[in-house]
Amino acid sequence: MEPEVNVNRTDVTDIHPCYEIDHFKYILANTPSFICILLYIFLVLLSVVTICGNLLVIISIIYFKQLHTPTNYLILSLAVADLLVGIIVFPFSMAFSLSSCLYHEDLFCKIRGSFDISLSTCSILNLCCISIDRYYAVCQPLTYRTKINHHVVVIMILVSWGISVLIGIAVIIAGLNSEKCEERCLIDVLMANTIGPILSFYLPVIIMLCIYLKIFIVAQRQARSIQSTKSGPKVSKMERKATKSLSIVMGIFLMCWLPFFIFITFLPFSNDSVPVPVIETLNWLTLSNSMLNPFIYAFFYSWFRSAFRMIISGRIFQGDFANSKLL
């Protein structure tokens, strides 16, 4: 994601370990510092974990027929978006960092920004679709199979990817138009710092928060109704598990995304220069959510863990286990 920011050029070499100024261009240093090397090793590991984790989810859902459900197809779409973040956005962000593109925005920076915005938005919208699926599964279980079927899921996936591509294109067009302005154009600032964040983040987050709050309320009501026929400790355990799951899902998501979007939303109202490390840290924090999603939405389920063990051990190459019963 790329905000419109004010940065002090004279301080670049002092605050970023990997870049230097060359004829007013912000480029990678020929002799990177030790801190820069450690930083890139960490980012490469982050990219590898993101790719491997999402590949496990994708292979599991495609290979094992037990996982061919509408819910898992939404998780599959999310994993594909996060996989592309690991394959495309991570390398582009390391070669053409958000900081460097603030100083010298060339074609590769525009390509980087396009993939960054589109795939990040797609990841968020897929998370929103998963929350809608969970709402019907918990709050309207009797009509779940009729309202959330394969046809509906395909439409949800296509809409998520379509909106993401359109938002990415719109932001890039706004960036191209800004080159014709002597000063920052109002419409471009609104697109980058207001309209884009509202469509890409705030609206989906409000929807998810409302849905998960409704799910939590319904789950508590169901637990209380069961309490008359089951022991109190067992019901209490159910409530704690539901609360823990919802808290982890929304907590990690907001931890990764909320700081960055608050930053770019209120940035136009500040006249102070922005330290490069702040921009970089917030940007990489958002991208790290693509690494965490497989753990959040897959590792909670025992059948995914069984599928992962079979894939990692290589058992699926020793025979046909597509119809295996996953525990």
pLDDT score for 36: 77
pLDDT score for 55: 94
Please tell me whether the overall predicted TM-score, pTM, comes out greater than 0.75 for this model.
yes
Average pLDDT, 10 consecutive residues per value, the chain (327 residues): 48 55 61 78 91 94 92 92 92 70 66 82 88 87 90 95 86 62 54 68 88 84 69 53 68 88 75 71 87 79 85 87 82
pLDDT score for 10: 41
Rg (CA), the chain: 22
pLDDT score for 192: 58
pLDDT score for 162: 94
Instruction: List beta partners, residue 21.
Output: 26
pLDDT score for 12: 42
pLDDT score for 115: 84
pLDDT score for 92: 80
pLDDT score for 17: 66
pLDDT score for 105: 60
Instruction: List beta partners, residue 19.
Output: 28
State which fold the 9-267+276-317 domain adopts. Answer: Rhopdopsin 7-helix transmembrane proteins (1.20.1070)
